[in-house]
Amino acid sequence: MYKTHGYAAKDANTPLAPFDIERRDVREHDVQIEVLFCGVCHSDLHQARNEWRNTIYPVVPGHEIVGRVTKVGAGVTRYKSGDLVGVGCLVDSCRTCASCAEGLEQYCENGFVGTYNGVDRVSGEVTYGGYSTSVVVDEAFVLNVPGNLDPAGAAPLLCAGITTYSPLRQWGAGPGKKVGIVGLGGLGHMGVKLARAMGAHVVLFTTSPSKVEDAKRLGAHEVVISKDPAQMQAHANSFDFILNTVAAQHDLNPFIELLKRDATMTLVGAPEHDHPSPQVFNLIFKRRRLAGSLIGGIAETQEMLDFCGQHGITSDIEIIPMQSINQAYDRMLKSDVKYRFVIDLNSLKQ
């Protein structure tokens, strides 16, 4: 075991505070990683505050990790010391069920192991995430970060990137398709960049008039203020796909009404309280679909990172020291993020 510094929430109502972690020594297939940068996902806030009612305390959040390999186990073949690598939301799964066999570890039928707030399949210990100076992860769940990408800007790809890339691919975003992205936060701004790079016609929906110019700069062809019924009505029955990233409970009907016949709105936002049920007739009369999607598997995450490498895509970030995490959470709740906070772990190493 070795000691690493981190930040943890010790219960749902207390700000995050310094917390020393004992990490395991590398097992045969493990990679030890010095964390350079870790993105701040809204899921970190949901879990630090037990909004999904399943948090094990103390919790060390962080699942958008970019770092350097510092040590590898005897059986590791894919990575060596010095490699620039990433770790996302998953650090293990059963590897034998039908979903795992298809490379869909996020839907593991025996339960995936989360990067934090999970339970290690070997030791039974609770996992601690990337708000820390070092992590140890099985090589099968470690990703290659393309060398041409800025490491800090690449960190959010490990969750915000893959969570938007996977449904955009699944529902066929590309040339000739009109794609809506709802919410311009961490996920939403990656959705805009990725859908644009895939060749779709991209429309961004926001509740924040101050974000209109940014949305266009990030790649949206059109921007709609979702609280303005006239702007919404202008897009009725016209979308092939809508990706909804909103982190709070809201009325889904105004967005469902914008879908064409047979089109889908997929929810990735995971709010504390469920959305009210949408009107059934809005679905029935145009055979519209409402769906969900969870992050992405390891193979698809690597595919997404390579796609971002080819297209030069990273997140628009604001770098913060670890000590500012509680202020960052407060700003995230006010939709005041441009467009992802990324922790520089050097702030914990000094």
- Number of residues counted as binding Zn ion (CB under 5 A): 9
Q: Is 97 in the site for Zn ion (CB under 5 A)?
A: yes
Applying CB under 6 A, among 140, 294, 319, 320 the residue interacting with ligand NAP is: 294
Q: Are 159 and 41 in contact (CB under 8 A)?
A: yes
Distance CA 25, CA 282 (A): 55
Q: Among residues 83 and 131, whose Cβ is nearest to ligand NAP?
A: 131
Kindly report whether the peptide bond that precedes residue 7 is cis, defined as omega within 30 degrees of 0. no
> HEC string of 184-204?
CCHHHHHHHHHHHHHCCEEEE
- Report helix, strand or coil for 37: strand
Kindly report whether the peptide bond that precedes residue 58 is cis, defined as omega within 30 degrees of 0. yes
Q: Among residues 142 and 157, whose Cβ is nearest to Zn ion?
A: 157
Nearest to 151 by CA among 3, 17, 346: 346
Q: Among residues 43 and 226, whose Cβ is nearest to Zn ion?
A: 43
Rounded to a whole number of angstroms, the minimum distance from the CB of residue 77 to ligand NAP is: 29
> HEC string of 230-252?
HHHHCCCCCEEEEEECCCCCCCC
Distance CA 31, CA 27 (A): 8
Applying CB under 6 A, among 186, 219, 254, 297 the residue interacting with ligand NAP is: 186
Q: Is 41 in the site for ligand NAP (CB under 6 A)?
A: yes
- Of 18-26, 139-147, 307-315, 332-340, the segment contacting ligand NAP by CB under 6 A is 332-340
For 317-329, the DSSP string reads EEEEEGGGHHHHH
Long-range contacts of 116-120 (CB under 8 A, 24+ apart): 116/47, 116/59, 116/60, 116/61, 116/62, 116/63, 117/47, 117/54, 117/55, 117/56, 117/59, 117/61, 118/91, 118/92, 120/92
Q: Is 208 in the site for ligand NAP (CB under 6 A)?
A: yes
Rounded to a whole number of angstroms, the minimum distance from the CB of residue 43 to ligand NAP is: 4
Applying CB under 5 A, among 12, 94, 248, 283 the residue interacting with Zn ion is: 94
Q: Is 181 in the site for ligand NAP (CB under 6 A)?
A: no
- Number of residues counted as binding ligand NAP (CB under 6 A): 32
132 interface partner picked from ligand NAP, Zn ion, none, CB below 5 to 8 A per type: none
Residue 242: count other Cβ atoms within 10 Å of its Cβ: 26
Dihedral (CA of 331, 333, 338, 340) sign: positive
| Contact positions with Zn ion (CB under 5 A) in 110-139 | 110
29 interface partner picked from ligand NAP, Zn ion, none, CB below 5 to 8 A per type: none
Rounded to a whole number of angstroms, the minimum distance from the CB of residue 83 to ligand NAP is: 25
The H-or-E segment that residue 46 falls in is helix 42-48
- Report helix, strand or coil for 92: strand
| Contact positions with ligand NAP (CB under 6 A) in 231-290 | 245-248, 250, 268-271
Q: Among residues 137 and 160, whose Cβ is nearest to ligand NAP?
A: 160
Q: Is 211 in the site for ligand NAP (CB under 6 A)?
A: yes
Q: Among residues 289 and 331, whose Cβ is nearest to Zn ion?
A: 331
| Contact positions with ligand NAP (CB under 6 A) in 62-121 | none
Applying CB under 5 A, among 16, 59, 69, 108 the residue interacting with Zn ion is: 108
Contact residues for ligand NAP, defined by CB under 6 A: 41-43, 46, 159-160, 163, 183-188, 206-208, 211, 245-248, 250, 268-271, 293-295, 332, 335, 337
